[in-house]
Amino acid sequence: MATTEKKKKTPSDVSRSAGLNSGLKKDDSLKLYHFMLLMREFEETILRLYNQGKIVGGAYSGRGNEATAVGSSYALKKNDYLFPMHRDIGAHFVKGQSVLNMMLQHLGRAASLTRGRDGTGHYSDPALRIYGNVSPLGAMLPVACGVGLASKMRKEKSVVMTYIGDGGASVGEVHEGLMMASAMRLPVVLIIENNQYAYSTPTSKQFIVEKLSSRAEGYGIPGVTVDGTDVAEVYRACREAVERARNGDGPSIVESVTMRMRGHAAHDNAWYVPKEMIEAWKKNDPIEKLETLLFSNGYLSEALKASMIGAIQTQIEEAVKAAEASPYPDGEDAVNGVYAE
């Protein structure tokens, strides 16, 4: 049977929420704004350091993904587990990770969480219950399911939140993990970050369903699609999914529709993305959208905005100085911890 090719999503195709009508108070709204600003400024700093030759390997940007990363993780509690992807830096900060630790990690210093063996987000911090990311991103879900099973057996009442992109959502491990999570009613929440491109492959070439969340029906679990540029809408959907998991009702899928505003990584100029598509999504910037709501509700003033941005920039500048002054690991230390004793 012939099928028609799906058109690329534009901001107008994505649902809209009723502003901050999601149970968020002023303090929570400003915290979300703070974390989104922090995520963007941190990543812009990382890209500058990469262009200066101070970061080796990959440097990634979550520009356009701030509401997804921050809104989803804000629904978690301290005892919950987080398995973030490379465009979810904001989720690390929401879960309690320090700017200094993240800067040490990206600059590959001996004092970093991976002791200088890695320069991206491939780390774990058991104290904060942050694990990931795993580079073959689809493989994170089975690991998250294992943690969810352990948490359930321990009666921790903890939730495991993990993420996958629109491309990774088609990987076999994701299907297997969802089958396990649904059959065993594990406390797992999967966020599908639909940002229109799996590296250079548009969603129109990846799948024919209108919503990736509709796949949840095949697993017998809830699935919902939200505007991934609206932090209040993301938070509301994830809060409901987290509460469901914590109550023992099993996993959920939340598809967050947004746009990857830069290439796959710093080396990629995203030449394959139509310019008009980028321009259209620029008008739906998640931080600007939240700013408008905060100003209209009287939660934010120009003075407070300037103060918050200034404080964030100072915090990041101090972290960069401290990380650059921190030594690299000794060469012979590279083999330590690689093999079990």
DSSP state string for 23-70 = T--HHHHHHHHHHHHHHHHHHHHHHHHHHTT-S-S-----TT-HHHHH
Q: What is the rounded distance in angstroms from the CA atom of residue 271 to the CA atom of residue 60?
A: 16
pLDDT for position 236? 96
User: What is the per-residue pLDDT for 11?
Assistant: 53
pLDDT of residue 240: 97
* Stretches in the chain below the pLDDT threshold 70: 1-23
- The runs of H, that is alpha helices, within the chain are 26-51, 66-73, 89-94, 99-106, 140-153, 172-183, 216-219, 231-246, 275-282, 286-296, 302-325
pLDDT in tens, 67-99: 999 999 999 999 999 999 999 999 999 999 999
Q: What is the pLDDT of residue 57?
A: 83
Rounded distance between C-alpha atoms, residue 223 and residue 239, angstroms = 13
pLDDT of residue 22: 56
**All residues at 6 or more sequence positions from 94 whose CB lies less than 8 Å from its CB, including other chains:** 35, 69, 70, 73, 74, 76
In whole angstroms, what separates CA 31 from the centre of its chain? 17
The C-alpha atoms of residue 161 and residue 190 are separated, in whole angstroms, by 6
* Burial class for 240, CB neighbours closer than 10 Å (0-12, 13-18, 19+): middle
Helix (H) or strand (E) holding 223: strand 223-227
Provide the pLDDT for residue 17: 42
Q: Which fold has domain 24-262+272-324?
A: Rossmann fold (3.40.50)
Q: How far is CA 124 from CA 98, 105, 115, 141, in A?
A: 13, 11, 11, 15
Domain range annotation of the chain: 24-262+272-324
Say what the pTM is.
Answer: 0.92
